[in-house]
Structure 1
Amino acid sequence: MKKVEIVATFLEYDSKEELNEQDRNLMEKAIEIRKTAYAPYSKFKVGAALLLEDGTIVQGSNQENAAYPSGLCAERTAIFYANAIHPGKRILKLAISASSDLKVTDQPIPPCGACRQSILEYETKQKEPIEMFFMGAEGVVRYSPSLINILPFHFDKDSM
């Protein structure tokens, strides 16, 4: 038997104010679009903002449906929209902000499993990492240099 240690490394900022101007602006766009989320059932609102290689920012918010799981998360809304409207443009960064009408969300909220898999698809497709920043409604911002950092055992085209 061989023991292998897998370590994921993150940076934590006490607040979005500690981010550089470009990253803070991207997070503010995620917070702004989070407010447009359609979440009447879960009361859990998420906003995502992507920075493309040409400086374009693409935003998405979660969209629920009474017929679960027919809705779509903010991250996938943004990433699918980016690919549809800006095909071939690399995604450099992703900022995510989540809030709840039912409780305080002051800890970083990472993407769900389905969103991780979708982000991984685009990271693999473009052969470059997508930097990620995620936070709750307020407080700490967590940074990951790539999706693979938070999903070290992943399934992609090379798995098939």
Structure 2
Amino acid sequence: MAQKLTITAELTVFESINELPVSIQKLMHKAQEARERAYAPYSRFMVGAALALNNETIVTGNNQENAAFPSGLCAERVAAFHAGSQFPGVGFKTMALTVRSLQKEVTTPTPPCGACRQALAEYEVNQKAPITIYFMGETGKVVKANSLKDLLPLVFDSTYL
């Protein structure tokens, strides 16, 4: 007999960046700075990420597009892969994300895409500790997920292989 499975996620919504703890405001400002350096001539949708590591290092990333779709890479994976290559074994504590469109104002908090969620899940599973993720548009509300699993509850990991 079929069973129903209920999946829940707990997200916290802040009215603006000013409601965030000072350390997270600083992290979001680093993400905003990274966003402005994005290479997004095709989508005109700029994304910035700032990743706080457990050793207090901040690593940033931004989206890098390519005329040969899908050869580009999202900001979240740029930051995560850079951190993984430069600081192997150092856990990820918190990630801040922000977006800006060159075509319209984005006031809706914009979460990581599915590919980025899966890539971040690998790090979260391996470190056996949650990665807190804050995300926003260009302005407006900020959403906090206490764990990547709140954004991708049915994580595919190496236990399935």
- TM-score range (shorter-chain normalised) is over 0.9
- Return the alpha-carbon distance in structure 2 between the equivalents of residues 2 and 116 of structure 1: 27
1:91-111 deviation digits (Å, cap 9, x = unpaired):
000000011011111010000
Structure 1 segment 119-134 matched on structure 2, within 5 A: 119-134=120-135
Return the letter of the residue paired with 1:22. S
- In structure 1, the partner of 2:62 is 61
C-alpha distance after superposition, 1:21-56 (max 9, x if no partner): 111111111011100000000000000000011111
Aligned to 1:97: 98
Query: Secondary structure of the residue that 1:117 maps to in structure 2?
Result: helix
Q: Deviations over 1:75-96 (max 9, x none)?
A: 0000000011111111000000
The separation in 1 between residues aligned to 2:138 and 2:70, in whole angstroms, is: 24
Q: How does 1:78-97 map to 2 (within 5 A)?
A: 78-97=79-98
Return structure 1 stretches of 4+ with deviation > 3 angstroms. none
Q: Percent of aligned pairs with the same residue?
A: 49
Q: Which residue of 2 aligns with 1:50?
A: 51
1:156 aligns with 2:154: no
The number of residues matched between the two structures is 160
- Once residues 158 and 11 of structure 1 are traced to their aligned partners in structure 2, the CA distance between those partners, rounded to angstroms, is 30
Other-structure match for 1:146: 147
Once residues 83 and 108 of structure 1 are traced to their aligned partners in structure 2, the CA distance between those partners, rounded to angstroms, is: 26
Aligned equivalents of 1:12, 1:108: Cα separation in 2: 9
Give the unaligned 5+ runs of structure 2: none
Letter aligned with residue 61 of structure 2: G
Aligned equivalents of 1:155, 1:113: Cα separation in 2: 12
Show the counterpart of 1:106: 107
Give the Cα–Cα distance (whole angstroms) in 1 for the partners of residues 90 and 11 of structure 2. Answer: 26
Normalised by the length of structure 2, the TM-score is: 0.97
RMSD: 0.7
Distance 2:101 2:14 in 1: 21
TM-score computed with the length of structure 1 as normaliser: 0.98
Q: Residue type matched to 2:10 in 1? A: T
